[in-house]
């Protein structure tokens, strides 16, 4: 048991925090959000310089070969600074897929990712899939030596700005993943803004032709890749939320200590103190679960891994809601303005809950796993078996 | 960063498991798991068994008979014992009065009292709260007047858990009216057999006798039974409270209760051939409390790790108590609700292990509803959850 970060991780944290606190001001955040692309090239170049874009990319492929807890450290800082750049999409999810399953030729892209020249986006979710990874209608059919893709993708993070899309589609043998350059004929991308200023895209694939070597990994083998990517994304979002909650709690604390009503700081009122105590409790529960989620990413047992990730995403969604809503409430009228960072954190936290499965989705996943992992012999199937075991404990 | 117990810690878990499997009497285990009423002798039987391995107070320094087991191993020990259905080791002796005697008592007190805590000869109870002094403990009024080499103590203590079984009580008493209320308090050890000590039962909402009033009417207490200095008892009391770190999280017993809840829900038919465990509305509530328990466990491990780093206890224990008590209440409430139409039954006879009859309804029913009522105490005792929030606000948030 060890809850300390390595010296390297502390260095990454310090360097990133210093850079972001100097550069990524609320004003800058607002400017980037207003610009609509969800990614400031200067910031992105700085990320490359800091080495974090190649965080999960092995050194021979141009990265720094970091691990999941390095990613946790980075995501916490990005959350703390309200960064809307698609770091998770490119550096953790996208690069993660190529590291895991990309062909040598596909992996050559990774050097560009680490250098900040190339962005990646996983185009998996669809208008009707509602976080169910297997509910994919997009089809890929063989045509000559290549494939033709037909379908629609929704809520693709950085889908409009990414240089490469990883498009999932059904083939005869199951779900497959294809590497498709962003600008491609018969592929249209519609950029959409979100409430936190980041950019997602709706993507239409109207008979997009790709060569045979566009396939990532094996044909029909994409579900495992997408699942793994989703798990990495969940752990990342959890860490990001923890960073955002830290910052929001600090903001709120500073506010209630200085804002005076009835001649005294409102932080002196017990009605607020107790709710602040609950906010802290829930933020700390969230931190605990974010550690657990990241630690479990490497567990080989899929059931155990998914249970932990769903548990974490559920709890963090719940904490994010409580901390976010309470922070706004305690800021009073100021909390519902665009002027303070408070509302921006609140919006980001709200959107995190809606990404990669919300509270209901993951509680359902977790509970389903709870049933299947329960000794089936003990499940009563008939009213004849009506009594509880005497000392089942 | 690594959230797993080490190999040697896991080996220790194996040792504990084997020990408990071999030594915990089946009848006692069935009593605990069956929610039967535990008698004085049930608790003591287990204390004596644990004492053969030095596990009554494993965290104590070796010179006092402990094993200096680190908090992680203490947690493992407590959890394995709870999961196996062992009675709890009550904190009043080993974890409350003993650390105070070790830190502030004299050699004679240490030699006399500490071994008797380990071997179960002395059952301790806690004389803190009074009818007028609950959360505002420092306002306590029980007086101790010095008369030669004795104090004459008069007053009333209340909410005294299992005082009906106790040999000794550690009391906060007022020895001075000067200065702030905190400044005139002393810490006395009182023999329950002393003339003038009267224990009166308080029947709790579950109909059971767990807590008491302890009346002190001109009780003569040798000055030799004062721990530390006169009028400095408040410092010792605070030290004692700071000593309770992670056990208020009740991790082990909540894990056991969750396991039981699932077993009850799995064995309860709920229509359409489905057990209650598979009814989404109920299933999801179990799932949520299980997730809360997972988070609590990581929090406990984090606090243990934090304590190891800095050697002085911080206020995080309040977070553990707050969350842990809410989990205990939620699980006990769900278990009661799982009984459905049988939840209302009150069958106190069925709580006796000697009773030969069979209760109406589910076998665990008689204990389950009572526990729900009883467990409202978890957010009240050991510093009410409101007091915990005050502590968090003041010491962690600086409000």
pLDDT-based confidence at B392, cuts 50/70/90? very high
Which residues of B are less than 8 Å from A380 in CB distance? 266-269, 275
The reply to whether B287 touches chain A by the CB within 8 Å rule is yes
Question: Which residue of the set B78, B80, B232, B244 is catalytic?
Answer: B244
Given a contact cutoff of 8 angstroms between Cβ atoms, the answer to whether A199 and A32 are in contact is no
- At B26-42, the pLDDT tens digits run 999 999 999 999 999 99
pLDDT of residue A386: 43
Of B1, B262, B319, the CB nearest to A69: B1
What is d(CA A14, CA A8) in angstroms, rounded to the nearest whole number? 10
Could you give phi then psi for residue A354, rounded to 5 degrees?
-85, 0
CATH 2.40.110.10 domain position(s) in chain A? 121-218
* Strands (DSSP E) found in A90-211: 120-123, 139-143, 146-157, 164-171, 174-181, 187-193, 199-210
In the stretch 3-22 of chain A, residues with CB closer than 8 A to chain B read: 3-5
Q: Looking at residue B378, what DSSP letter applies? A: G
The reply to whether B358 touches chain A by the CB within 8 Å rule is no
pLDDT of residue A390: 39
pLDDT of residue A393: 33
Q: Which two structure tokens, joined as six digits, stand for B198?
A: 């009267």
What is d(CA A377, CA B338) in angstroms, rounded to the nearest whole number? 19
Q: Which two structure tokens, joined as six digits, stand for B70?
A: 């680190």
What is d(CA B378, CA B249) in angstroms, rounded to the nearest whole number? 10
Rounded to an integer, the average pLDDT of B133-152 is: 96
The reply to whether A376 touches chain B by the CB within 8 Å rule is no
Question: What's the alpha-carbon Rg for chain A, to the nearest Å?
Answer: 22
CATH 1.20.140.10 domain position(s) in chain A? 223-375
The reply to whether A268 touches chain B by the CB within 8 Å rule is yes
Long-range contacts of B341-349 (CB under 8 A, 24+ apart): B343/B368, B343/B369, B344/B369, B345/B369, B346/B207, B346/B370, B348/B207, B348/B208
By C-alpha distance, the chain B residue nearest A360 is B284
Question: What's the alpha-carbon Rg for chain B, to the nearest Å?
Answer: 22
- At B279-334, the pLDDT tens digits run 999 999 999 999 999 999 999 999 999 888 876 667 899 999 999 999 999 999 99
Active site residue B244: yes
Q: Are residues A3 and B302, on separate chains, in Cβ contact within 8 Å?
A: yes
Q: Which two structure tokens, joined as six digits, stand for A182?
A: 């962003």
> What per-residue string of b and e applies to B253-291 under the rule 16 or more CB within 10 Å gives b?
bbbbbbebbbbbbbbbbbeeebbbbbbeebbbbbbbbbb
By C-alpha distance, the chain B residue nearest A289 is B295
Q: Among 3.40.640.10, 3.40.50.720, 3.30.470.10, 2.40.110.10, what is the CATH number of B124-231?
A: 2.40.110.10
What is d(CA B131, CA B215) in angstroms, rounded to the nearest whole number? 11
Show me where the domains of chain B are located.
7-91, 124-231, 244-396
Which residues of A are less than 8 Å from B399 in CB distance? 253, 256-257, 267-268, 272-273, 276
Q: Are residues B269 and A382, on separate chains, in Cβ contact within 8 Å?
A: yes
Residue B150 pLDDT more than 70? yes
By C-alpha distance, the chain A residue nearest B262 is A374
Q: For the domain bounded by B7-91, which CATH number is listed? A: 1.10.540.10
Report CA-CA distances (Å) from A273 to A42, A66, A268, B143.
Answer: 41, 40, 7, 35
Of A2, A281, A385, the CB nearest to B323: A281
What is d(CA B334, CA B276) in angstroms, rounded to the nearest whole number? 11
Given a contact cutoff of 8 angstroms between Cβ atoms, the answer to whether B130 and B141 are in contact is yes
pLDDT of residue B307: 85
The reply to whether A251 touches chain B by the CB within 8 Å rule is no
pLDDT of residue B147: 97
Helix (H, G, I), strand (E, B) or coil at B108: helix
Tell whether domain B244-396 is in CATH 1.20.140.10.
yes
Rounded to an integer, the average pLDDT of B206-232 is: 98
The reply to whether B70 touches chain A by the CB within 8 Å rule is no
Helix (H, G, I), strand (E, B) or coil at B397: coil
Which residues of A are less than 8 Å from B393 in CB distance? 270, 273-274, 276-277
The reply to whether B290 touches chain A by the CB within 8 Å rule is yes
Q: Which two structure tokens, joined as six digits, stand for A103?
A: 């062909």
The reply to whether B9 touches chain A by the CB within 8 Å rule is yes
Q: Are residues B295 and A288, on separate chains, in Cβ contact within 8 Å?
A: yes
What is d(CA B180, CA B381) in angstroms, rounded to the nearest whole number? 25
- Considering the segment(s) A121-218 as one domain, its CATH architecture is Beta Barrel (2.40)
Q: Are residues A281 and B322, on separate chains, in Cβ contact within 8 Å?
A: yes
What is d(CA A84, CA B157) in angstroms, rounded to the nearest whole number? 59
- Tokens 């320094």 locate to B61
CATH top-level class of A223-375: mainly alpha
What is d(CA B270, CA A385) in angstroms, rounded to the nearest whole number? 11
The reply to whether A145 touches chain B by the CB within 8 Å rule is no
pLDDT of residue A381: 52
Q: What is B42-66 written as a DSSP string?
A: HHHHHHHHHHTTT-SSTTS-GGGT-
- At A78-126, the pLDDT tens digits run 999 999 999 999 999 999 999 999 999 999 999 999 999 999 999 999 9
The reply to whether B368 touches chain A by the CB within 8 Å rule is no
Residue B361 pLDDT more than 60? yes
Report CA-CA distances (Å) from A382 to A137, A386, B268.
Answer: 39, 8, 9
What is d(CA A20, CA A82) in angstroms, rounded to the nearest whole number? 9
What is d(CA B345, CA B339) in angstroms, rounded to the nearest whole number? 10
Give B134 to chain A, closest Cα distance, Å.
18
pLDDT of residue B309: 81
In the stretch 167-206 of chain A, residues with CB closer than 8 A to chain B read: none
Q: What is the 3-state secondary structure (H, E, C) of B127-192?
A: ECCECCECCCHHHCCCEEEEECCEEEEEEEECCCCCHHHCCEEEEEEECCCCCCHHHHEEEEEEEC
Q: For the domain bounded by A7-118, which CATH number is listed? A: 1.10.540.10
Contact residues for B235 (Cβ-Cβ < 8 A; gap 6+): B228
Contact residues for A382 (Cβ-Cβ < 8 A; gap 6+): B269, B273
Q: Which residues of chain A have pLDDT under 70?
A: 380-393
Q: Looking at residue B130, what DSSP letter applies? A: B
Of A325, A322, A341, A333, residue with least CA distance to A254 = A341
What is d(CA A96, CA A226) in angstroms, rounded to the nearest whole number? 10
Helix (H, G, I), strand (E, B) or coil at A119: coil
- At A186-244, the pLDDT tens digits run 999 999 999 999 999 999 999 999 999 999 999 999 999 999 999 999 999 999 999 99
ipTM of the complex: 0.95
Given a contact cutoff of 8 angstroms between Cβ atoms, the answer to whether A255 and A331 are in contact is yes
Of B262, B388, B392, the CB nearest to A374: B262
Of A284, A308, A383, the CB nearest to B319: A284
Long-range contacts of B311-314 (CB under 8 A, 24+ apart): B313/B242, B313/B243, B313/B245, B314/B395
Q: Are residues A314 and B288, on separate chains, in Cβ contact within 8 Å?
A: yes
In the stretch 287-316 of chain A, residues with CB closer than 8 A to chain B read: 288-289, 291-292, 294-295, 308, 311, 314-315
CB atoms under 10 Å from CB of B133, counted, come to: 18
Give B251 to chain A, closest Cα distance, Å.
15
Which helix (H) or strand (E) covers residue B212, if one does? strand B209-222
């Amino acid at each position: 048991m060890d809850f300390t970060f390595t010296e390297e991780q502390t260095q990454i944290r310090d360097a990133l925090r210093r850079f972001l606190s100097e550069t990524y001001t609320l004003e800058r955040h607002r400017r980037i959000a207003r610009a609509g692309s969800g990614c400031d090239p200067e910031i992105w170049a700085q990320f490359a310089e800091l080495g974090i874009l190649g965080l999960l990319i092995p050194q021979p492929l141009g990265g720094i070969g970091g691990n999941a807890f390095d990613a946790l450290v980075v995501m916490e800082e990005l959350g703390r600074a309200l960064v809307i750049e698609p770091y998770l999409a490119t550096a953790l999810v996208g690069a993660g897929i190529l590291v895991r399953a990309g062909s040598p030729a596909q992996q050559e892209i990774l050097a560009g990712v680490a250098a900040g020249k190339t962005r990646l986006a996983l185009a998996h979710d669809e208008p009707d899939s509602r976080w169910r990874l297997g509910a994919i209608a997009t089809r890929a059919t063989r045509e000559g030596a290549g494939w033709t893709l037909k379908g629609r993708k929704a809520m693709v993070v950085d889908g409009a700005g990414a240089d490469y899309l990883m498009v999932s589609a059904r083939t005869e043998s199951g779900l497959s993943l294809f590497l498709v350059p962003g600008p491609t004929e018969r592929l249209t991308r519609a950029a959409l803004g979100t409430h936190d200023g980041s950019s997602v895209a709706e993507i239409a694939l109207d008979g997009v032709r790709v060569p045979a070597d566009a396939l990532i990994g094996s044909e029909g083998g994409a579900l495992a890749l997408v699942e793994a990517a989703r798990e990495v994304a969940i752990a990342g979002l959890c860490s990001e939320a923890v960073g955002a909650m830290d910052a929001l709690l600090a903001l709120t604390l500073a506010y209630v200590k200085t804002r005076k009503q009835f001649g005294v700081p409102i932080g002196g009122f017990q009605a607020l103190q107790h709710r602040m105590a609950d906010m802290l409790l829930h933020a700390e529960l969230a931190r605990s679960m974010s550690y657990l989620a990241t630690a479990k990413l490497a567990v080989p047992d899929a059931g155990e891994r998914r249970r932990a990730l769903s548990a974490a995403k559920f709890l963090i969604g719940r904490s994010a809601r409580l901390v976010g809503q309470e922070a706004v409430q305690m800021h009073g009228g100021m909390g519902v303005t665009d002027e303070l960072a408070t509302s921006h954190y609140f919006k980001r936290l709200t959107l995190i809950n809606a990404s990669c499965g919300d509270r209901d989705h993951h509680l359902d996943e977790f509970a389903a796993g709870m049933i299947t992992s329960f000794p089936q012999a003990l499940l009563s199937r008939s009213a004849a078996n009506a009594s509880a075991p005497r000392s089942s404990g | 960063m690594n959230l797993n117990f080490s190999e040697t810690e896991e080996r220790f878990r194996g040792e504990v498991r084997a020990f408990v499997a071999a030594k915990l009497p089946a009848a006692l285990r069935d009593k605990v798991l069956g929610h039967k009423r535990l008698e004085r002798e049930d608790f003591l039987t287990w204390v004596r068994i644990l004492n053969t391995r030095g596990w009554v107070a494993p965290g104590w320094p070796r010179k006092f008979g402990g094993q200096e087991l680190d908090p992680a191993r203490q947690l493992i020990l407590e959890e394995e014992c709870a999961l196996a259905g062992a009675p709890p080791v009550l904190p009043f002796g080993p974890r409350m009065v003993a650390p105070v005697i070790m830190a502030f008592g004299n050699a004679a007190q240490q030699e006399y009292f500490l071994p008797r805590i380990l071997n179960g000869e002395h059952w301790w109870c806690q004389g803190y709260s009074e009818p007028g002094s609950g959360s505002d403990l420092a306002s306590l009024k029980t007086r101790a007047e010095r008369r030669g080499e004795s104090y004459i103590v008069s007053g009333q203590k209340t909410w005294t858990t299992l005082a009906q079984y106790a040999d000794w009580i550690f009391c906060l008493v007022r020895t001075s009216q000067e200065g702030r209320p905190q400044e005139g308090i002393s810490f006395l050890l009182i023999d329950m057999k002393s003339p003038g000590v009267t224990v009166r039962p308080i029947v709790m909402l579950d109909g059971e006798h767990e807590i008491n009033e302890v009346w002190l009417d001109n009780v003569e207490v040798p000055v030799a039974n004062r721990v530390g200095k006169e009028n400095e008892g408040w410092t010792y009391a605070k030290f004692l409270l700071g000593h309770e770190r992670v056990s208020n999280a009740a991790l082990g017993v909540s894990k056991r209760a969750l396991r039981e809840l699932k077993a009850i829900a799995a064995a309860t038919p709920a229509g359409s051939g489905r057990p209650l465990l598979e009814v989404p509305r109920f299933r999801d509530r179990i799932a949520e409390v299980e997730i809360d328990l997972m988070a609590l466990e990581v929090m406990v491990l984090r606090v243990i790790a934090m304590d190891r780093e800095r050697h002085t206890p911080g206020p995080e224990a309040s977070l553990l108590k707050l969350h842990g008590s809410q989990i205990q209440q939620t699980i006990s409430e769900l278990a009661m609700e799982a009984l459905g139409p049988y939840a209302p039954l009150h069958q106190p006879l069925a709580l006796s292990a000697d009773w030969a009859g069979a209760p109406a309804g589910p076998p665990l029913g008689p204990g389950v509803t009572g526990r729900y009522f009883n467990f409202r105490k978890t957010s009240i005792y050991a510093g009410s959850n409101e007091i915990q929030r005050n502590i968090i606000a003041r010491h962690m948030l600086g409000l």
